[in-house]
C-alpha cells in the first residue's frame, strides 16, 4: 500500500471532448439504433441511477387527521363496501411518488371506515397488513376464523395469506389506520390475492381473540406450539399492555434506573413471541412516548418510517421541513432524511411503523447520527 493511496470517495469526473459535427451525427445514429432495440447507455444516467447516497423521490408529507376523517365519513355516505371494492380504505399518496397510492416506495397507509352494521367481506393476500386504532371501538376483525376486537390504542395484525374480514356491530362508525406492504409487493411482482367468504366465518364478539388467549401473556408461550413462525402469532396487542410498558419505562427512569432509549423517551417494539423479532417480515411497528419537551436523537436511516400521533402533540423535523403534529395526524420519513421528534407541552404518544426489516434482512440497512448531537 503506497503512501499516496487515497481511499476517500473522490469524485473523478471524466469530461469527454466536444464531438465534431460528423461525430455527433454518428452518435445520434448509434443512440437511435440503441433506442430501437430498447437499450440505454449507462453514461447518460449514472447520477440518477446510482447517487452517492439515497436520494428518495418520496418527500416528507403530513396528513391532517381532521381532513382524513372528514373525507372518510363522506365516502361512508357515498360509497358502499362490497365485492370488487372489498374495503372502504383511502390510501395516503406521497406527493413525490406521483400516480400510485404509496406513502413510501414499499409501504401503504390508509384510513379505513366502516359504518354501523357494515361488513367488509373476507379475502386473503400475500401482502402483510396491520391496523392501528386511533379512536373508537365496535369493530371486530376476523383473522383466519378468529374474531379479534379492535379498540382504541390496539395494534392488530393480519400477516400475509390469512383470510380476514371486518364488521362493525356498534351504533357508531369507526375509522382506523391500515398499514400494508402493498407497494413492495406491487413493484416486486410478489402479490397474490384470493376472495373468501362473503359473510364472516366467525360473527362472535369476544373480549379477547383466541390468538391473545394463547400468545399474549407476557413472557409465556404455549408449549403445544414450539416452532418459530415468520409472522407474529398475536392478533391483537391490546392498548393496556403498551401503555403499561411505557409507563413502567418512565417510572424506572424517575427512579434512576435504565430502560428508556433517551431522556424522557420511552419506546416499545411490537414483537413476534416465537422469535422476539419483528411482527412481520416486511414491517416493523413501535410505540413511542415522550415526556413534555423531550426529544429524540436526530438520525438518518435507510428505509421509510411513518408516524401517527396518538395523544398529545409534537414537532417532527424531516430534512429541511418541520411539521406540527396533533392527534391522528400522519407523517412519513423518506429514506436517509435526518429526522427527530420534539414533544409538545403535554408530551406525545406516537405510533410508528417502518420497512426496516426488509433492509436489515438484505444487509442494506445503514444509520447515521450527525456528530455533536
Ligand atoms: O383491510 O383487508 O387498506 O386488503 C388495503 C388493502 C385494507 C384490508 C387496506 C386491504 C385492506
Ligand atoms: Fe386485506
Given the CA of residue 178, which atom of ligand 1 is nearest to it?
A: 3
pLDDT in tens, 96-141: 998 778 999 999 999 999 999 999 999 999 999 999 999 999 999 9
Given the CA of residue 91, which atom of ligand 1 is nearest to it?
A: 3
Query: To test ligand 1's pocket by mutation, which of 100, 101, 110 has the most ligand atoms within 8 angstroms of CB?
Result: 110
* 349 touches 333 (CB < 8 A): no
Q: Which sequence spans correspond to the domains of the chain?
A: 62-368
pLDDT for the residue numbered 164: 97
Which CATH superfamily is 62-368 part of?
Answer: Jelly Rolls (2.60.120.10)
Cα of 182 from ligand 1 centre, angstroms:
9
pLDDT in tens, 212-235: 999 999 999 999 998 999 999 999
What are the grid coordinates assigned to 1, written together? 500500500
Integer Cα distance of 89 and 188 in angstroms: 23
Task: Answer yes or no: is pLDDT of 83 > 80.
Answer: no
> Is any atom of ligand 1 closer than 6 Å to the C-beta of 87?
yes
> Is any atom of ligand 1 closer than 6 Å to the C-beta of 126?
no
> Is any atom of ligand 1 closer than 6 Å to the C-beta of 128?
no
Q: Which residue did the predictor score with more confidence, 232 or 373? A: 232
For the segment 170-199, the average pLDDT, to the nearest whole number, is: 96
- In 3-state terms, what secondary structure has residue 80? coil
In sequence order, the 6+-apart residues with CB closer than 8 A to the CB of 329 are: 62, 63, 64, 65, 308, 309, 323
Task: Answer yes or no: is pLDDT of 7 > 50.
Answer: no
Cα of 177 from ligand 1 centre, angstroms:
10
Measured CA to CA in angstroms, residue 238 lies from 115, 119, 281 at distances of 23, 23, 21
Cα of 366 from ligand 2 centre, angstroms:
31
Integer Cα distance of 325 and 339 in angstroms: 14
pTM, 2 dp: 0.94
Cα of 183 from ligand 2 centre, angstroms:
14
- Residue 309 has phi, psi (to 5 degrees) of -75, 125
- pLDDT > 90: what percent of the chain? 88
pLDDT for the residue numbered 373: 58
In this prediction, residue 2 has a pLDDT band, given cuts at 50, 70 and 90, of very low
Q: Which residue did the predictor score with more confidence, 14 or 232? A: 232
Amino acid at each position: 500500500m503506497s503512501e499516496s493511496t487515497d481511499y476517500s470517495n473522490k469524485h473523478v469526473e471524466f469530461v469527454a471532448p466536444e464531438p465534431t459535427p460528423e461525430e455527433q451525427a454518428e452518435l445520434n445514429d448509434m443512440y437511435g439504433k440503441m433506442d430501437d432495440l430498447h437499450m440505454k447507455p449507462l453514461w447518460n444516467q449514472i447520477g440518477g441511477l446510482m447517487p452517492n447516497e439515497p436520494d428518495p423521490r418520496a418527500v416528507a408529507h403530513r396528513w391532517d387527521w381532521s381532513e382524513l376523517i372528514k373525507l372518510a365519513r363522506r365516502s361512508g355516505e357515498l360509497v358502499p363496501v362490497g365485492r370488487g371494492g372489498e374495503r372502504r380504505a383511502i390510501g395516503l399518496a406521497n406527493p413525490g411518488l406521483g400516480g400510485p397510492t404509496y406513502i413510501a416506495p414499499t409501504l401503504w397507509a390508509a384510513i379505513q371506515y366502516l359504518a354501523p352494521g357494515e361488513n367488509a367481506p373476507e379475502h386473503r393476500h400475500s401482502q402483510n397488513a396491520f391496523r392501528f386504532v386511533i379512536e373508537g371501538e365496535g369493530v371486530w376483525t376476523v383473522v383466519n376464523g378468529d374474531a379479534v376486537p379492535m379498540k382504541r390504542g390496539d395494534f392488530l395484525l393480519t400477516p400475509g395469506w390469512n383470510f380476514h374480514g371486518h364488521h362493525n356491530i356498534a351504533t357508531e362508525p369507526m375509522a382506523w389506520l391500515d398499514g400494508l406492504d402493498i407497494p413492495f409487493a406491487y413493484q416486486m411482482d410478489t402479490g397474490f390475492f384470493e376472495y373468501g367468504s362473503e359473510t364472516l366465518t366467525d360473527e362472535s364478539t369476544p373480549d379477547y381473540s383466541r390468538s391473545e388467549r394463547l400468545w399474549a401473556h407476557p413472557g409465556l408461550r404455549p408449549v403445544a406450539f414450539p416452532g418459530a413462525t415468520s409472522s407474529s402469532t398475536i392478533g391483537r396487542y391490546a392498548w393496556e399492555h403498551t401503555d403499561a410498558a411505557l409507563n413502567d419505562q418512565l417510572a424506572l427512569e424517575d427512579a434512576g434506573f435504565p430502560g428508556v432509549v433517551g431522556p424522557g423517551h420511552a419506546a416499545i417494539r411490537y414483537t413476534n413471541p416465537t422469535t422476539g423479532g419483528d411482527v412481520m417480515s416486511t414491517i416493523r411497528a413501535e410505540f413511542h412516548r415522550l415526556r413534555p419537551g423531550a426529544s429524540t436523537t436526530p438520525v438518518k436511516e435507510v428505509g421509510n418510517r411513518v408516524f401517527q400521533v396518538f395523544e398529545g402533540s409534537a414537532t417532527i423535523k424531516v430534512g429541511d421541513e418541520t411539521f406540527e403534529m396533533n392527534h391522528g395526524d400522519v407523517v412519513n420519513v423518506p429514506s436517509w432524511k435526518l429526522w427527530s421528534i420534539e414533544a409538545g407541552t403535554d408530551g406525545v404518544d406516537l405510533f410508528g411503523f417502518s420497512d426496516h426489516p426488509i433492509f436489515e434482512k438484505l444487509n442494506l440497512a445503514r444509520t447515521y447520527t450527525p456528530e455533536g448531537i
